[in-house]
Every structure is written in C-alpha cells, then in structure tokens.
Copies of this chain bind each other. A is one copy, B any other.
Amino acid sequence: MKRLKFGIVGLGRLGRIHGENIAWHVPGSELIAACSIVPEELDYAKETLGVKDTYSSYVDMIKNPELDGVVIVSPSGFHLEQIQLALLAGKHVFCEKPIGLDVDEIKRTITTIEQHFDQVFFLGFMRRYDASYQYAKELVEAGEIGDLTVVRCYGIDPSSGMESFVKFAKRSNSGGIFADMSIHDIDLLRWFTKTEVKRVWALGKNAAYPELDEAGELETGAAMLEMQDKTIAFLVAGRNAVHGYHVEMELIGTKGTISLAHHPEKNLVTICNEHGVVRPTSQNFSERFKQAFIDEMRAFVACINKGKQPEVSANDGLQATIVAEACRKSWQTGELINL
C-alpha cells in the first residue's frame, strides 16, 4: 500500500490536531509539507511532525508535485481560494469547516469542485465521524425511533474561554455565534432529518457579560426552526458552559427518543464525594472529538484510495452557511425568516 502524501496549511490549535493525525494516526498517509506565515508553526512542523518541506506561500506548496492532497486549516476567510487553487493544481482537498463565509462565493467554488469530480473534496464536519453520532444515525436509519418530530442540538463552549472572547469581541467580528458555533449542529440537523430548513426565528441573551450587547455579539443564541416536512428543531449556541464543553443532541421520533451526551461525560468514572454523585465532563472540543478528528481523516484517505466522494458534500457546507446566516438575520431583526 503506497502512502499518500499531504501538505497542510495552518498549524494553529486545530491545525496541529489535523497535522498530528495525518502524520501519525492515519495508516497510509504521510505529512510531507506544511505552509504557514508563522515561523514557529513551521518549526513545529519540522521538529515535531517530521515534515520535510515547509512553505510560507500556499501557492508554492501546492506546486510540489509529490503532494497527493492538501489539508486546509487556515482562517475561514482563506478557505474558498485555497480550495480552488488546490483543485486546479490537481490535489485532493480536505477543508476544515466552514467551507466559506460568503454564499455566492461558496456557490462558485462548488462549480469548481463539481468540475474536478475525480478529485476528492472533503469538508471537515467531524461530528459525523464520532462513534456516538454514527451509532445514533444507524438507529435512525434502521427506523428504531420512527419518524423524527423534534430535533434539539446544543453547542456550548466552556466558560473558561469567555473572558478572552469578550476582549476579542470588542475589537473584532467573530462572524456571529450561529456561524461560529451552530454550523455543526445545523449540519447534524440536515443529516438526520434529510430535509431542509423552511423557517427560522432566533433569539439571544447576554446575561453574564451584558457588555457583549454593544459589541453586537452573543453569549447565548437560540433558534427554533421549521423543516420542510414540519419537523421542529431547537438550537442553542453558547460560550459559557461552566461545566465544560457541552455538545448534545436529542431526537424525538414517533417510536422513541435518542439523547446524545445530555450530560457530557468525560469517561466511565463516577465520584461520590461531598458534592454528591459527580461525573467529570469533557473540557474542550479536542478532548471530546479526538477520535472523530482521526476517523474523519481516515475517511478522507479512504475516499482517495477508493476513488469516491464522501457522503458529506460541499453543498452541505453551503446549506449550513445559509441557515446560520438566516439565524443571525432573524436575531438581528427580530423577525421570522423564510428560506
């Protein structure tokens, strides 16, 4: 089995996760190139990941004829252009979510992706590769809970990040809590219901950090959505979970209910002490989705080896962006938004 050779662009927190996974945890893959404008990131790539070639220019990296594919973990604003360039250079592409920030530009990129149908384009909605979501999906597909009636998804970041977020929000635009946080949940919603969003109403409240009101940002956002088939969806996106990293899903069907991580249990340990019966919790996304990040990268490599596209498509990225944008608009205007 020949080893596929990859280059990575972006080696921040998430970039390093992907970098280590390709380098060490995906059989049949090698990380041979890395691109960053941060010299320390390139040092890390060489010293820790054993990367041969480093680049400060993405255009230079993708000229490397050895490369079979690229892994894009750069800031979201660069995704679309880097996807296009890599495809034109004949490389397979793994792109971290979101596919892009602007709906029209995403549509143009999708045209390019479709033209390069024999190159794999893989969008990093890693939750689809988490064992618990996979298990839930199988149950739903097998009809175990009948027809879906209500879907509820929460994605709440640990409050340990609040203070730095508040500082950041005063000077910069996060893109909004729905695009930033709910995008994974919107993808899950579409994946499980197999239908599209019809209408949405969104709300928000800044209770711990009311100063976010001025910045036009949210500590907690929420939305109720009606799907084309009348399925009802609830979303909560937050940044202030005191107990850790809280990502849960609930599916209410006509024959049963599935609850996934209602309490974000870290492991199989329970402690009884003066606080009561205590289960420790996941503390961050890299802990919670450690294996899912590995498994999605393995799936990317498997797609290349089998010459087929993944189940998750560029259009999934487009639709999730459209819905997140509708949530933002509904919250800002206070109106119901029809899609």
- The answer on a CB contact under 8 Å between B234 and A224 is yes
Docked pose: A278 CA to B243 CA in angstroms: 10
Q: How many residues on A have C-beta within 8 angstroms of the other chain's C-beta atoms?
A: 76
CA distance A1 to B236 in the complex (A): 45
Q: Which of A302-331 contact B (CB under 8 A)?
A: none
Complex interface: chain B residues within 8 A of A244 (CB)? 276
Task: Check if B278 sits within 8 Å of A276, measured CB to CB.
Answer: yes
Is A164's CB within 8 Å of the partner chain B?
no
Q: How many copies of the shown chain assemble into the complex? A: 4
Q: Which residues of B contact A265 (CB under 8 A)?
A: 268, 277
Interface assignment of A257: CB less than 8 Å from any CB of chain B: yes
- Determine the distance from Cα of A276 to Cα of B220 in the docked complex, in whole angstroms: 20
**Are B243's CB and A257's CB within 8 A?**
yes
- Contact flag A277-B224 (CB < 8 Å), given A148-B207, A205-B149, A272-B256: no
1/0 contact string of A286-299 vs chain B (CB within 8 Å): 00000100000000
**Interfacial chain B residues near A131, Cβ < 8 Å:** 267
Taking the closest CB of chain B, its distance from the CB of A217, in whole angstroms, is 14
Q: Is A25 in the interface zone, CB < 8 Å from B?
A: yes
Residues of B within 8 Å of A223, CB to CB, are 224
Q: Let me know if A57 is at the binding interface, CB within 8 A.
A: no
Residue of B whose beta carbon sits closest to that of A298: B24
A12 at the interface (CB under 8 A from B): no
A136 partner, pick from B135, B207, B269, beta carbons under 8 A: B269
Q: Does A270 contact B (CB under 8 A)?
A: yes
Taking the closest CB of chain B, its distance from the CB of A44, in whole angstroms, is: 15
B201 touches A336 (CB 8 A): yes
Q: How far is A270 from B145 in the complex, measured between Cα atoms in Å?
A: 12
Ranked 10 nearest A-B pairs via Cβ: A256-B273, A224-B224, A24-B27, A208-B254, A243-B272, A132-B268, A257-B272, A261-B268, A263-B277, A205-B230
22 of the cross-chain contacts (CB-CB < 8 Å) are: A135-B266, A144-B271, A148-B207, A204-B232, A207-B230, A224-B224, A224-B234, A241-B272, A242-B255, A242-B274, A243-B256, A256-B272, A256-B273, A259-B263, A259-B272, A260-B268, A260-B269, A262-B270, A263-B272, A263-B277, A275-B275, A276-B280
Binding site for B on A (CB under 8 A): 1, 23-25, 27, 50, 131-132, 135-136, 139, 144-150, 152, 201, 203-205, 207-208, 219-220, 222-224, 226, 230-232, 234, 236, 238, 240-244, 246, 252-281, 291, 335-336
